[in-house]
């Protein structure tokens, strides 16, 4: 069973967290099931970027992003080549290291 390591995030999981994952579960659902309250404003329907994560290790083991996800990711704050929407990224058989960005697009727009 693969492990997903959530890197420390000052608000959502200050100490970081290591969790066991079933293949086929989304990173978002896994985080939520393990007490990491990742934002998901569109209720996991791939219609926003609030659940954006950066997959630091294991990126290539994830299901491929579709065109809709890629279009949404273009709007994400802090986009990187290993960025995914956690509601769309499904765990496979490899361990993952996941970083939750400091801000979401909602938080950035609220500060201005």
Note the pLDDT tens digit of each residue in 74-98: 999 899 999 999 999 999 999 999 9
The pLDDT-based confidence of 110 (bands split at 50, 70, 90) is very low
How many domains is the chain partitioned into structurally? 1
Per DSSP, the residues of 27-38 read HHHHHHHTT---
The pTM score is 0.92
CATH code, domain carrying 55: 3.10.20.30
The pLDDT-based confidence of 109 (bands split at 50, 70, 90) is very low
pLDDT value at residue 106? 65
SS3 65: coil
**Has residue 112 got a pLDDT over 60?**
no
Q: Shortest CA distance to 94 belongs to which of 47, 62, 54?
A: 62
Domain span at 53: 3-110
Q: Can you say whether residue 33 is alpha, beta or left, with left for phi > 0 and alpha for psi between -120 and 50 degrees?
A: alpha
Rounded mean pLDDT, 26-45: 96
């Amino acid at each position: 069973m693969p492990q997903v390591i959530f890197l420390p995030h000052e608000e959502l999981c200050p100490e970081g967290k290591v969790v066991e994952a079933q293949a086929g579960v989304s990173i978002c659902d896994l985080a939520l099931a393990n007490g990491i309250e990742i934002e998901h404003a569109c209720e996991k329907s791939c219609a926003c970027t609030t659940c954006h994560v950066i997959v630091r290790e294991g990126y290539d083991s994830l299901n491929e992003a579709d065109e809709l996800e890629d279009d949404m990711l273009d709007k994400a704050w802090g986009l990187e080549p290993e960025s995914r929407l956690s509601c769309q990224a499904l765990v496979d058989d490899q361990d993952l290291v996941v970083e939750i960005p400091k801000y979401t697009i909602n938080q950035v727009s609220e500060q201005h």
